[in-house]
Amino acid sequence: GQNIDQPTEMTATEGAIVQINCTYQTSGFNGLFWYQQHAGEAPTFLSYNVLDGLEEKGRFSSFLSRSKGYSYLLLKELQMKDSASYLCAVETGGSYIPTFGRGTSLIVHP
Amino acid sequence: GAVVSQHPSWVICKSGTSVKIECRSLDFQATTMFWYRQFPKQSLMLMATSNEGSKATYEQGVEKDKFLINHASLTLSTLTVTSAHPEDSSFYICSARVRGTSGTGELFFGEGSRLTVL
């Protein structure tokens, strides 16, 4: 079966840096997504990692280690609007079907 | 980026009635669409994979007779919740990939449809 694990909740201060971890044990691996979801809204795409290493995109960076089944999302210069749920999703199989983790609720306070 | 439109955004219905939710890719063709269900403070649970021109593939535990999926064209997939009950109340979200890509890019999500069954 597929198992994707991420912390349930994290808190951080405005302007700080926060790292959200995701570990996975899946049957096969094609790639890993990170999505941001504000309450009551659909998820929005943040990143997609296929190869090991760090990919930086503005204030957000995503890291992947396939051998360790591990990824993290790094958010820099946190803003209040970054308060949201962050979903890790692993894509497996020939159909590239993504399986989502439970999401990490990030609370940014002043 | 590509746009996926979902309709209705929210619906309230009586127990025992059926509700249809539409998912449209507005500016691209989508061979495959995914239907997810999300309970409050929970993650997205894949219900089924909708394939254009063929039967949907349902995840284990999802009743195919209760959640009817039709993917009649490359731009439209529908989810019909039949004989809805209060426990079917949830946030339903569809997503799609651009035709011709297979896991090499993002999933585009619809806005979601919040169903409340009284």
Which tens digit of pLDDT belongs to each residue from A13-51? 999 999 999 999 988 888 999 999 998 888 888 999 999
For chain B, the C-alpha Rg in angstroms (whole number) is 13
The Cα–Cα gap between B54 and A93 comes to 19
The Cα–Cα gap between A29 and A48 comes to 13
A98: nearest CB among B1, B6, B107? B107
The Cα–Cα gap between A65 and B39 comes to 30
Residue B103 has pLDDT above 60, yes or no: no
Report chain A residues whose CB lies below 8 A from the CB of B105.
48
Question: Is residue A60 a contact partner of residue A73, using CB atoms and an 8 Å limit?
Answer: yes
CA distances from A21 to A9, A26, A76 (A): 11, 16, 15
Residue type for position B114: R
The Cα–Cα gap between A31 and A91 comes to 5
Token pair belonging to A109:
């306070």
Which tens digit of pLDDT belongs to each residue from B76-100? 999 999 999 999 999 999 998 775 5
Other beta carbons within 10 angstroms of residue A50's beta carbon come to: 14
A99: nearest CB among B46, B103, B114? B46
Model pLDDT, residue B105: 58
The answer, for B115 touching chain A at a CB cutoff of 8 Å, is no
